[in-house]
Amino acid sequence: MEYRCEAASVEGFVQQLAASYLPNGYWFYVAGQVPARKDPRAVDEKLIARYGVGISKWERARQKRAGRASVQYLRYGRFFLLLATHGQHPFFELESGAIRDARRVPIRFHGYSISYRGGHAHVRIEQGEYNRLKAYFLDVAVHRWVEGLVGEFGRIPFEPYAPIRRQLLAIWRDVNDARKTARLSPVPKTAVRLHRRVVRTYPDREVAKAV
């Protein structure tokens, strides 16, 4: 059975975490980078074999009933994650010094901050990235035509998960506050993309489901 692990896009990587892995209890993680001198797919094979990742959903269910953890592996480019559920597994011994809990330490990836809280995945723009984005928009708020600012909002690369929608709307309000003070026309709310696109995590396949 082929185990799919290489995400086709940043959006697919984030979606797999937020829609599948974190909601299914894969909270314990190790993040890493494939060294430049190594072939990422060779590293995939090595880690999948080491942690017994490429097993069927029925075997995962059997291990869960026996109190064993399940492990998943996900990579985009040279960035990868090993993720595990509660239970017994060599993962917790071999990676003991590097394991983080997504309920306490967010996963940081391409400007996103991805965690699990309140019973669901929480995807937001990482604070430093958000501060830079907000500063940029406030810098150009009164120096661009409305059409130009609409275009700027349209080029924001983050998918609007609920926390990101709140962040983007906060920037939009601040931009319009600055424009109001300068007696300029407001930017319409429709400039902010509020609906998330559903993408394929892996090339030519449906989004994988965790069990």
Whether the predicted pLDDT of 206 surpasses 70:
no
- Which residues, 6 or more positions from 117, have their beta carbon under 8 angstroms from its beta carbon? 103
Closest CA to 40 of 69, 93, 78, 68: 78
Phi, psi of 150 (to 5 degrees): -60, -45
Contact of 196 with 12, CB cutoff 8 Å: no
Residue 179: strand, helix, or coil: helix
Can you give the pLDDT at residue 59?
87
**Arithmetic mean of pLDDT, 172-200:** 97
Question: What was the pLDDT predicted at 60?
Answer: 85
Q: Which residue has the higher pLDDT, 59 or 160?
A: 160
Element (H, E) at 133: helix 127-140
- pLDDT per residue as tens digits for the range 65-119: 898 999 999 999 999 999 999 999 999 999 999 999 999 999 999 999 999 999 9
Q: At what angle do helices 162-181 and 146-154 cross, to 10 degrees?
A: 160
What dihedral angle (degrees, nearest 10) is formed by the CA atoms of 101, 104, 109, 111? 180
Domain ranges within the chain, ordered by starting residue: 10-124, 125-191
Pairwise CA distance, residues 27 & 100, whole Å? 8
Q: Are strands 107-109 and 71-76 parallel, antiparallel or unpaired?
A: unpaired
Averaged confidence pLDDT in the chain: 94
pTM for the predicted model, two decimal places = 0.91
Stretch among 27-41, 45-59, 103-117, 159-173 having the lowest mean pLDDT = 45-59
At 208 the pLDDT is: 44
